[in-house]
Amino acid sequence: MKKDIERILLVEPNFPIPSKSNNHKNFLPIGLLKLASYYRDQGHKIKLVRGNLKSEDFDFKPDKIEITSLFTYWAPHVKDSVAHYRKMFPRAKITVGGIYASLMPDHCKKYTKCDQVYRGVHTEAEKCYPAYDLVTNQNPHPLDYQIIHSSRGCPRKCNFCGTWVIEPRFKAKKSIKDEINKRNVVFYDNNLLNNPYIENILKELIELKKHNKISWCESQSGFDGRVLIKKPKLAKLLKKAGFRYPRIAWDWGFENYRDIKKQLGILVKGGYRYNDIFIFMIYNWNIQFEEMEEKRIKCWEWKVQIADCRYRPLDQTFDNYYPKESQTSKDYYIHTQGNWTDALVKQFRNNVRRQNICARQGLNFYSKTFERMKAKKNIIFKTKKMSRNEVSKYLTKLKIDYWFPDDVTYSDYGLKLKYEQEKKVIELY
């Protein structure tokens, strides 16, 4: 082997991702796949591993190890990987890159004990076509999509978001058609619609779709609704280009509901159905539970689904949230300044989950007993034709739980709390 040819081990730490979701479109280690191509092009030998493998699984002794990182609150998994591979290959130089490394470089160096931290986007690797073969071979399911970045960065600066710290300059491509060679396309742009060439990009996708070269597209981040309001014709283009599950963000207070309604109207006019659309909502944040409930109920009125996102500060380095237990701030971040408690965080999450089931399935109410198929079919069937009052009476008599999404729900794990006199609180837990 020539002296300048290196063996480089690329590592995705043992993140808490269910193994069946390993190749899920939200979790593909795209940065490592681009680095793999970049190093291969230079003639280096590379190996990609996902998790902390045992030494007997190795046929490769690396000179360098590059470990990716994701959310700051998954830092312990990065630390574990550094320690694991350090022990196995003590002579190899270890670099950590990715989101946590870029947001908290000093913490990352000290805490993980890596040799070096790489901050931001690797500009050379960014130009490479990701080495999808490395992940396809690891999973029996063929990868049926590819990831595209038509832009990097975001021109906005929301204070709960790290995008503008990691990718401070907004850079956009004019065209992406030559990058596409799979039937499904997932855009990892932070703010796709803000690309000044978005119309051109959507027209390219429409053309590819017309010729049956692509099937569907998705945007991992939500669409910027403010851009939709300025350029409503984008909605139709998105639909024609095959974008599915459109999502818009409602990060601010209830008073913004008219804008959100307008954005939804634009998407519906573009050809989407209300229950295909998701609204991103950040909770456990500055907006209090009561107002989040009002927002949730507004979404129920519109019959759109909610993509809820539990807030963690950008420097939070742990998250041991467990939905089925009573927990404290020692376990995960609870935004006490916004009057959130563990019970309220879990209550809101639970309300959203139940409401989404109702929105998806066209149900008027949720029942845990029904969800678990523990009620007789004829009972379930009977309630479909009943009014709200009839459902309440009937299921109360049968001692079967039920919940109407338009009730502000404050159960506090068994304790029924009073919210406002006129908003009756009903929760049968």
Place of tokens 């022990």: 87
Q: Does residue number 154 form part of the binding site for ligand SF4 (CB under 6 A)? A: yes
User: H helices then E strands: how many in the chain?
Assistant: 16, 13
Of the candidate spans 71-79, 152-160, 171-179, 397-405, the one that interacts with ligand SF4 by CB under 6 A turns out to be 152-160
Q: Which CB, 182 or 226, lies closer to ligand SF4?
A: 226
Neighbours of 361 (CB within 10 A): 10
Q: Does residue number 280 form part of the binding site for ligand SF4 (CB under 6 A)? A: no
Of the candidate spans 133-141, 149-157, 343-351, 368-376, the one that interacts with ligand SF4 by CB under 6 A turns out to be 149-157
Helix, strand, coil percent content, the chain, rounded in steps of 5:
40, 15, 45
3-state secondary structure of 38: helix
As measured in angstroms, the least distance from the Cβ of 219 to ligand SF4 is: 11
Q: Which CB, 158 or 426, lies closer to ligand SF4?
A: 158
Q: Does residue number 282 form part of the binding site for ligand SF4 (CB under 6 A)? A: no
As measured in angstroms, the least distance from the Cβ of 159 to ligand SF4 is: 9
Mark out the alpha helices in 241-302 (DSSP H runs): 257-269, 289-302
Q: List binders of ligand SF4 among 219-238 (CB under 6 A).
A: 224
Answer for which of 158, 415, 417, 426 binds ligand SF4 (CB under 6 A) is 158
As measured in angstroms, the least distance from the Cβ of 161 to ligand SF4 is: 3
As measured in angstroms, the least distance from the Cβ of 244 to ligand SF4 is: 20
Q: Does residue number 69 form part of the binding site for ligand SF4 (CB under 6 A)? A: no
Q: Does residue number 164 form part of the binding site for ligand SF4 (CB under 6 A)? A: yes
Of the candidate spans 94-102, 106-114, 158-166, 402-410, the one that interacts with ligand SF4 by CB under 6 A turns out to be 158-166
Residues whose CB falls within 8 Å of the CB of residue 319, separated by 6 or more in sequence, listed in order: 71, 73, 74, 312, 332, 333
Q: Does residue number 263 form part of the binding site for ligand SF4 (CB under 6 A)? A: no
Neighbours of 289 (CB within 10 A): 23
Q: Which CB, 158 or 229, lies closer to ligand SF4?
A: 158
Q: Is 11 exposed, middle or buried (0-12, 13-18, 19+ CB in 10 A)?
A: buried
Answer for which of 81, 163, 219, 284 binds ligand SF4 (CB under 6 A) is 163
Buried/exposed 230-253: b ≥16 CB within 10 Å, e otherwise: eebebbbbbbbbbbeebbbbbbee
Give, as one character, the DSSP assignment of residue 256.
G
The answer to whether 254 and 301 have CB atoms below 8 angstroms apart is no
Give, as one character, the DSSP assignment of residue 410.
-
Q: List binders of ligand SF4 among 184-213 (CB under 6 A).
A: 190-191
Q: Does residue number 157 form part of the binding site for ligand SF4 (CB under 6 A)? A: yes
Applying CB under 6 A, which residues contact ligand SF4?
A: 154, 156-158, 161, 163-164, 190-191, 224
